[in-house]
Chains A and B, each alone.
Chain A
Amino acid sequence: MKQVEEFLIGPWASPELFSWNLQVFIMGCLVCICCALIGTFVCLRRMALLGDAISHGILPGIVLAYIFTGSLSLLPMWTGACLAGLACGVSIQWLHTQTPLKEDAAMGLTFTAFFAAGMVLLGLNAENIHLDTACILYGEIGLIPLEPDWVILGTNLGNQSLWSMGLICFFTLLCTLVFYKFLLVTSFDLSLAKSLGIPVNIVQYGLMLLLALVVVASFEAVGVILVLAMMILPPTSMSFLCDRLPMVLWYCLPLSMLYSLGGIYLAYGLNFPISASIALTAVVIFVPCCLLGPKGGVFSGIVQSKIGKNMGR
């Protein structure tokens, strides 16, 4: 019992640890929330792997932006990443429609080529760039508290990364609320959306841009592959618990806190990288949802079919 108590208090034991881990926790929550919001719509549109492809495809944009501006600040990186992500999306679409290639081959071809181009650019400019290659793949959320503080007019507002992530999270939330109806209709019924006069293509590209923004912002924290976990797992887990879209979206808020907290404890207990632990927590939470969830979970399905048989008798 004592050990459990110590373990639970562990990450928060001293004031330094507390402030450090609190920042990590907040960052984790913010990343999870905006990834989950975007991810819900991405999953609904069956574009989950396109999200993966774009998250790989932005790498050359980020590296080029870094080479040209020499800073890790968000705006140039986001511009570069959006351009690269857009180029990646457009070339996938072009290869898919204009050549004999099928969509999956076009996707696999494009994103690996883009990613490789980014890696080669990194390799050529290795002496100038302090982007760790492993960091690209799984991020370094644990080092977020090291980012410089944001000072306006002599007032110290706290960690810069947290603020920018928070703003992006707020922006994503705002976009989701404002354009909710458009996103909803275009995700479920494309022809209805067209007949209602919703600009389907603009919604699609807007979603892509938002996706690029979120991926770039989360990139530093969780890397290109784990961002996929943050996008797919929350809506998929929640879809076993409730079947209304607004509920799925709202449940992402507590869920992201759970992920973040679980990730911190897992990393603290077993000495894992925090970002990978957050993804692992997400998987751990996904398993009972999938097995026991009332809406289409594996066991609930079995129970329901038995009840159905009994009633049939």
Chain B
Amino acid sequence: MVASNRFFKLGAILTAWGLIAGNPLQASTGSTAAKIDWASKTVEFLSFGDPSMQVIVFGVVLIGLNCGLMGGYIVTRRLAMFGDTLSHAVLPGIAVGYSLSQAKNNWSLMLGATLSGFAGVWIISLLTRHTKIKMDSAMGIILSGFYALGICLISYLQKSSGGGMANLENYLFGSLVGLSQDDLFPILLCLGLVISAFVFLSKELLVTGFDPGYAKSIGLPVGLLEFSLSALLAFCIVSSLQIIGVVLVTALLIIPAASASLITAKMSRLLLLSGILGAVSGFIGCFVSFLKAGLPAGPVITLCSAFIFLALLFLHPARGIIPLWIRTLRRSQKIRLENTLKACYQVLEDSSFKQDSFPQTLLSKRRRKSDGEMEGEINALVRHGYATRVVSPSEGHSPLPSETRIALTPSGWEVACRIIRNHRLWELYLTQEASYAPDHVHDDAEKIEHLIGEKTIRQLERILSNPRLDPHGKLIPSQADIDRGLSHTNFPLTEP
């Protein structure tokens, strides 16, 4: 129950987003009356009172699921434009099938469409195999040629039958009007075929898709599998045409699968996700086009799936571009902080830890930065509570930046010690255990010091039997040194 509530909330948010993004003028001028109208329409839609409404929503969700599943294979096999070509190539078949049955008889129409789709695919393979025409040109020729033929036939039939076949044009853009229960049967059948093929032949399809040569060598009927997959694709396209139309069925095949492929690379998960995304965008698209009369269903469904794609591309917590960008930013900030702290430690070390604080100029010399840049880095340290600026009591006025003295706080001292320890331990490890030359280890340690965890440090310490000196003869601060804190009574650190 909670889950379904959440789902509807998400749907409503996405819908609102789609409407606002799609129609800035009307959204901004929308009055209260319009809002109430929307609300009542939403209730009407979600209650599914109208039986024809039930059929429409059911049908759209089914083709979304169907195309999403099929699309998983199309996208992973890089056949996206092939799907587009196939969807245009079925048009003459629809016209012929229609004229043969003289009615909106599903079966002759579907047979005609499937056959003409096959003819198109066959001619493409002939053209690319036997002539010098490249794949993209061949697809373009078939796409536009079959399409022109289809347009000619449809217009001829419409004129000769005196306008009795007006709904043939629905196959160009799709339409939800007049969808009956009989129309759902082929979709259900296709869904059944697709699911059973994917369940029973999952291994075979996987191996033929990713490595046809290997599949052939283990004795799989690769040609037959490919053929049945494109037959299934043709059937899937044909059964979806009435709802979404020739031009945009490609969208429903590609976009959910592409969205899923952003998130997962595992085939079974990708198929499942892409089916679900297809169904969800079908549902939302159906809802939106119900809210506003005159909005064609196919384009709205396409836009919904495109919005879902964009949302996943930019906002997905693990792989989205914006979270990734934020993480990178945070990490580089952390590394900058740690590098400054490390420099602080080294400055202190140069003075043999005689004093608690040190002048800023030494630090900027160490970091090879200008005073201005250093100022920013020290500000960051102060903000994070790692260091303080020491004002000597003798001076009444605030000192010049170059005269400022810096002191590390206990937490700053701890982090600085850890980083130095990580760096030097790693250098020692590389020289002792991996036989690196001592002058080759610095760059590697420079990277790993920020990433290495406490557990690995314990291991390193055990392997190197708690060393005190690094390869360059400098002291490696131990846990005891860190715990003792920085105060000149404790230093210089005890020599081993």
Contacts and interface: CB of A to CB of B under 8 A. Distances in A.
Given A100-B262, A276-B149, 6 more contacts: A49-B140, A113-B306, A116-B303, A117-B299, A272-B156, A280-B148
Nearest to B23: A124
Interface string A269-313: 011110011011011001000100000111001000000000000
A199 interface: no
A83 interface: no
B147 to A, nearest CB: 5
Interface stretch (A150-158, A161-169, A224-232, A249-257): A224-232
A100 B23 CA distance: 31
A113 B172 contact: no
B159 interface: yes
Interface of B: 22-23, 26, 75, 78-81, 83-84, 88, 127, 130-134, 136-137, 139-141, 143-145, 147-149, 151-152, 155-156, 159-160, 169, 172-173, 247-248, 250-251, 253-255, 257-258, 261-262, 292, 294-296, 298-300, 302-303, 306, 309, 313
Contacts of A270: 152, 156
Interface stretch (A2-10, A24-32, A133-141, A213-221): A133-141
A108 B81 CA distance: 6
A21 interface: no
B172 A137 contact: yes
B293 to A, nearest CB: 9
6 contacts: A46-B137, A104-B79, A123-B296, A232-B140, A283-B148, A290-B131
A78 interface: no
A46 B81 contact: no
A105 B80 contact: yes
A55 to B, nearest CB: 10
A124 B81 contact: no
B152 A276 contact: yes
B137 A113 contact: no
A113 B251 contact: yes
Given A100-B262, A138-B151, A232-B140, A297 B131 contact: yes
A232 B124 CA distance: 14
Given A270-B156, A272-B152, A48 B251 contact: no
Contacts of B173: 119, 133
Given A276-B151, A280-B152, A232 B144 contact: yes
Contacts of A229: 140-141, 144-145, 147-148
A65 interface: no
B294 A126 contact: yes
Contact of A286 (B141, B149, B156, B257): B141
Contact of A48 (B136, B145, B155, B313): B136
Given A48-B139, A297-B131, A279 B302 contact: no
Contacts of A101: 258, 261-262
A282 B152 CA distance: 14
A126 B295 CA distance: 9
A112 B302 contact: yes
A109 interface: yes
Nearest to A123: B295
Interface residues of A, number: 61
B147 A123 contact: no
A51 B255 CA distance: 20
A52 B143 contact: yes
A120 B143 contact: no
Most buried by A among B144, B261, B303: B144
Contacts of B300: 116, 120
A47 interface: yes
A109 B254 contact: yes
Contact of A113 (B130, B134, B140, B302): B302
B71 to A, nearest CB: 9
Contacts of B134: 46
A7 B406 CA distance: 99
Given A109-B254, A112-B248, A280-B152, A225 B137 contact: no
A17 to B, nearest CB: 19
8 shortest A-B CB distances, which residue pairs? Answer: A112-B251, A279-B148, A229-B144, A116-B302, A119-B299, A116-B299, A113-B306, A108-B80
A297 B132 CA distance: 8
Nearest to A232: B140
Interface centre among B127, B131, B296, B300 (most CB of A within 10 A): B131
A82 interface: no
B312 to A, nearest CB: 10
Interface in A230-279: 231-233, 236, 239-240, 266, 270-273, 276-277, 279
Given A104-B80, A105-B254, A43 B149 contact: no
Nearest to B85: A49
Contact of B131 (A126, A280, A298): A298
A134 B149 contact: no
B133 A104 contact: no
Contacts of A119: 173, 296, 298-299
B247 A123 contact: no
A57 B47 CA distance: 37
A236 B165 CA distance: 35
Interface string A45-89: 011110110001000000000000000000000000000000000
Contacts of B22: 117, 120-121, 124
B141 A232 contact: yes
Contacts of B141: 229, 232-233, 236, 283, 286
Given A99-B262, A109-B306, A272-B152, A228 B143 contact: yes
A232 B137 contact: yes
A38 interface: no
Given A119-B299, A123-B296, A236 B133 contact: yes
Contact of A236 (B88, B137, B147, B309): B137
B156 A225 contact: no
A236 to B, nearest CB: 6
A124 B140 contact: no
Contact of B306 (A116, A228, A240, A266): A116
Nearest to B82: A104
A26 to B, nearest CB: 21
B284 to A, nearest CB: 13
A133 B261 CA distance: 33
A31 B317 CA distance: 49
B21 to A, nearest CB: 9
Contacts of A41: none
B137 A99 contact: no
B192 to A, nearest CB: 26
Contacts of A194: none
A226 B149 contact: no
Given A113-B306, A226-B148, A297-B131, A104 B78 contact: yes
